[in-house]
A and B are shown apart, each in its own frame.
Chain A
Amino acid sequence: MKRSAYFHKIILPVLALLFCAVTLNIFRVKLGYAIERTKKEAAKLSIENDYLAKKIAHARSPKNLEVYAASAGLKYPEPYSIVIIDAPKETYEKKRGWLSALFSKTNKS
């Protein structure tokens, strides 16, 4: 075999393989860092989410609402102070357009 053919058919492919193996390893470590960083970010977002849920639950608590209502000068009404009107559901339920109905069908499928 000529020297150039020897170089092109054996040495270069071997060098290329070596290079690939090493490069892949380096990428593996980089990806490892990236994955761990993303996991850390996800954990942080989960904790933030828990804090937000706590804030919302506290804001909705009857004790908190009573304080706000009292500061606005509101009081508990007597039962007969409230008049309940029997209105049919169609009069107050929001109607959905054909586009939103189509999207909901698409999402379900």
Chain B
Amino acid sequence: MNLSFLSRAKHIFFILIFISAAAGFRLFWLQIISHAEIKDIGEKEFKKTVKETSPRGRIYDCCGEILADSIIVWDLAVMKKEMQSPYSFCSVFSQILGKSENECLQKIKKGKNYIKIEKSLEMSVYEKLSQAFKEKSVKGILFEPHQKRIYPQETAKEVIGLANEEKGLTAAELVYDEILKGALKRKEIIKDRRGETVFTEKELETQKPSEIFLSLDSKIQFFSEEVLKNYVEKSAADLGIGIVQEVKTGKIAAMASWPQNLINLNGLEWVYEPGSTFKTIVLSAALEENVTDENDYYYCENGAWKFSPKITIRDHEPEKNLKLNEVFEKSSNIGFAKIGLKLGTEKLYLYSKSFGFGSAYGFGFPGESKGILKDLKNYKQIDTAVSSFGHSIAATPIQVINAYTAIANGGILLKPYLIEKIKSEEEEKTFSRTEIRKVISAETAKRVKNLLLGVVDRGTGRNASIIGYSVAGKTGTSNKIDPKTGKYVEKKNVTSFCGFFPASDPQYSILVVLDNPKKFHYGGETAAPAFKEIAKRIINLKNIKPDRDFNYKQALQTSYGKNISD
């Protein structure tokens, strides 16, 4: 081989080695030796601290159906100064969203630099728009992500409450805001020249949000809302409130009102005179204390009893001598005034307190009312008489239904609850049946239940009866009080019906209250049929078997009005 060729090859090889070594050394110098210095320069230009909030915790019903959730939506904004062609932006925008191109152009013309064009775009629209803008190389577009609270079941909004991006505002969203709010993530990131993230250096995250399971059953809640809406419209009432409670556990299966009130939870906050529905409490106390029994008769003064020179207690219908069950079934105020006076002020007060009136249950919701139960020392004889038929006392709907639930489950007052479970990353907290106290004996509860059955079978509550099922309940009609003057308002009532079914083995208790129904005026005409509707739907939903014999053919004929062949 030629020596000079070898020598040239050696030289070229060493030059290449030298260039590679120089390049390698330079890279080493930049990346290893000068790393700290270059990193500092880079961090100043490309390092950013980014804050992100993860979505707010979900709210479920008792069966795991999502009642409230958070999704990411995008606001579309433009930077006018960076935008080269508003026309191409507007044509894409109007094509995809089906909105007016001219309006879009007008908006951009009127705006200064930063202009918000559209809010809360869902993901499918956002993807279509961003793809279209990319294809047409439209510049100056900003998509700003933020959270939006949604209610997919469209029910129980009053109990769930309202929330904005940062915090809960009312009801459960407010009470449980601390555990529901999204985790705050703080990241230190390094971005490159194109704006893409290269590294995430530090990531700090606060505690992840918990999930809440309400005790509500979304289907029963839906039925209650639908039926209430119907009956409020039918009776031209100002307000309707409905509560459904599970007898054996005390949990609230539904709490609805119509018109919907997203600020106040009417079931816990609205206060009214319970009227004749309170007679059940007086009756329970009187039977428990052996002050009266089923064989006693009461003279009902022909419908008008001059209690004192100024005060006359009246009945809806004039009656003379009535047996105890008839006094209850015909809802005689005079009869009950006499029972209440026989029982005595102190015992009446103590049993009222025992059944939960005059105190809040501690749901934790801010507006929960205790109702109004006069102090014992302020009671006069007339107060005892009128309290016995549910006047001169104010109660919340939850107090009334919970008292009936106590009678349904053998005299034990349970703590009603709206939250069934709170689930976080670390633990799961469950709430269940809690007994507060035994108010009356099981035997007395049974006797009261039988009398309540009579009200529905023969008395004022006939419109609540369901073929094949034993329903125990009581109607109530009370005068409305003007909150300004504290006096009764003429021709303005509050009607109600509270009961439970099936009486042989109670599963659910239901309360329906209608405020100032203008078309019908008694609980039996307005609230009792609403109770029946809700009860029928629960029977179908929960497969509750009939507990009374009945003629199927006759029942179908009554309901469907057709000749049913064998």
Contacts and interface: CB of A to CB of B under 8 A. Distances in A.
A57 B123 contact: no
Contacts of A109: none
A46 to B, nearest CB: 9
Contact of B31 (A22, A32, A36, A81): A22
A80 B122 CA distance: 45
Nearest to A25: B31
A72 interface: no
Interface in A34-64: 35-36, 39-40, 47-48, 50-51, 53-54, 57-58, 60-63
How many chain A residues sit at the interface, stated as a range, is 20 to 34
Nearest to B219: A62
Contacts of B218: 61-62
A15 interface: yes
Nearest to A55: B152
B154 A61 contact: yes
Nearest to B543: A84
Interface string B213-225: 0000011001100
Contacts of A66: 222
Contact of A18 (B25, B70, B196, B540): B25
A69 interface: no
A63 B218 CA distance: 10
A25 B539 CA distance: 70
Interface string A13-36: 001001101100100010011011
A53 B69 contact: yes
A82 B23 CA distance: 86
Contacts of A6: none
A58 B31 CA distance: 55
A80 B467 contact: yes
B198 A32 contact: yes
B69 A50 contact: yes
A79 interface: yes
A109 to B, nearest CB: 25
B197 A36 contact: yes
Interface string B15-34: 00000110011011001100
B196 A33 contact: yes
B153 interface: yes
B123 A18 contact: no
Interface stretch (B204-212, B297-305, B370-378, B544-552): B544-552
B153 to A, nearest CB: 4
Given A54-B150, A62-B155, A82 B540 contact: yes
A27 to B, nearest CB: 12
Contacts of A79: 466-469, 536, 539-540, 544, 546
Interface string B29-51: 00110000000000000000000
A78 B71 CA distance: 39
A97 interface: no
A76 interface: yes
Contact of B556 (A15, A21, A57, A81): A81
B123 A48 contact: yes
A100 B399 CA distance: 52
A21 B55 contact: no
A94 B310 CA distance: 75
A51 B152 contact: no
A73 interface: no
Contact of A54 (B20, B152, B546): B152
Interface string B534-566: 001101100111100010100110011000000
Contacts, number: 109
A47 B70 CA distance: 10
A22 B29 CA distance: 10
A57 B24 contact: no
Interface centre among A19, A39, A61 (most CB of B within 10 A): A61
Contacts of A36: 196-200
Given A47-B72, A79-B466, A81-B556, A29 B28 contact: no
B289 interface: no
A88 interface: no
B65 interface: yes
Nearest to A63: B154
B556 A78 contact: yes
A33 B556 contact: no
Nearest to B220: A62
A2 B196 CA distance: 51
B481 interface: no
Contact of A51 (B71, B466, B555): B71
B66 interface: yes
B24 A22 contact: yes
B565 to A, nearest CB: 15
A61 to B, nearest CB: 4
Contact of B550 (A39, A47, A80): A80
A81 B553 CA distance: 10
A69 B443 CA distance: 45
B468 A57 contact: no
B501 to A, nearest CB: 10
Given A21-B28, A50-B72, A80-B546, A63 B536 contact: no
B130 to A, nearest CB: 12
A50 B155 CA distance: 19
A22 B71 contact: no
B20 to A, nearest CB: 8
Contacts of B198: 29, 32-33, 36
The 4 tightest CB contacts between A and B, nearest first, are A57-B152, A62-B222, A57-B66, A36-B197
Given A54-B71, A79-B540, 11 more contacts: A15-B24, A21-B31, A33-B198, A36-B196, A39-B200, A50-B70, A51-B71, A51-B123, A77-B540, A79-B467, A79-B539
9 contacts: A15-B21, A18-B24, A21-B28, A36-B199, A54-B152, A57-B65, A58-B153, A61-B152, A62-B219
